[in-house]
Chains A and B, each alone.
Chain A
Amino acid sequence: MSSFVVDKDGNKRYAVTVNVNGSDYTKVVKANTLLVNFLREELDLIGTKRGCELGDCGCCTVMLDGKAVNACIVLALDCDGREVTTVEGIQDGEDLDIVQEKFIEHAAFQCGFCTPGMIVSSRALLNENTNPSEYEVREAIAGNLCRCTGYVNIVAAVLDAAENL
Chain B
Amino acid sequence: MYLPDFEYYAPDSIAEACQLLSQLGEKAKVLAGGTDLMIKMKNEVLAPEVVVSVKNLDQLKKIEYVAGKGVSVGALCTHNDLVKCDVLKEKYSSVSNAARQMANNQVRNRGTIGGNISNAVPSADLPPIFIALNATVKLVGTKGERTVAMEDLFTGPGKTVLAQDELIAEVIIPDQKMTGSNYIKFGLRKSGALAVVGVAVAVQVENNVIKDARVALGAVAATPVRAKKAEDFLKGKTVSDEVLAEAGVIASGECKPISDIRASAEYRTDLVRIFTKRALRKAIDEGHV
Contacts and interface: CB of A to CB of B under 8 A. Distances in A.
Interface residues of B, number: 33
Contacts of B5: 11, 30-32
Question: Interface majority SS on B: helix, strand, loop or mixed?
Answer: loop
B105 A139 contact: yes
A2 B9 contact: yes
B211 to A, nearest CB: 36
Contacts of B35: 55, 70, 73
B53 A34 contact: no
A102 B21 CA distance: 50
A11 B7 CA distance: 9
A142 B51 contact: no
A143 B105 CA distance: 6
Nearest to B3: A32
Contacts of A50: 1
Interface in A57-103: 58, 61, 64, 67-70, 72-75, 77-78, 80
A160 interface: no
Contacts, number: 98
A1 B106 contact: no
Interface string A130-145: 0000000001111100
Given A32-B2, A55-B35, A75-B31, A143 B8 contact: no
Contacts of B191: 139, 142-143
Question: Interface majority SS on A: helix, strand, loop or mixed?
Answer: mixed
A73 B7 contact: no
Contacts of B80: 67
A69 B51 contact: no
Interface of A: 1-2, 11-12, 14, 30-32, 34, 37, 50, 53-56, 58, 61, 64, 67-70, 72-75, 77-78, 80, 121, 139-143
Complex A-B, nearest 8 residue pairs according to Cβ-Cβ distance, in ascending order? A143-B104, A142-B191, A31-B8, A32-B3, A73-B38, A53-B1, A67-B109, A143-B106
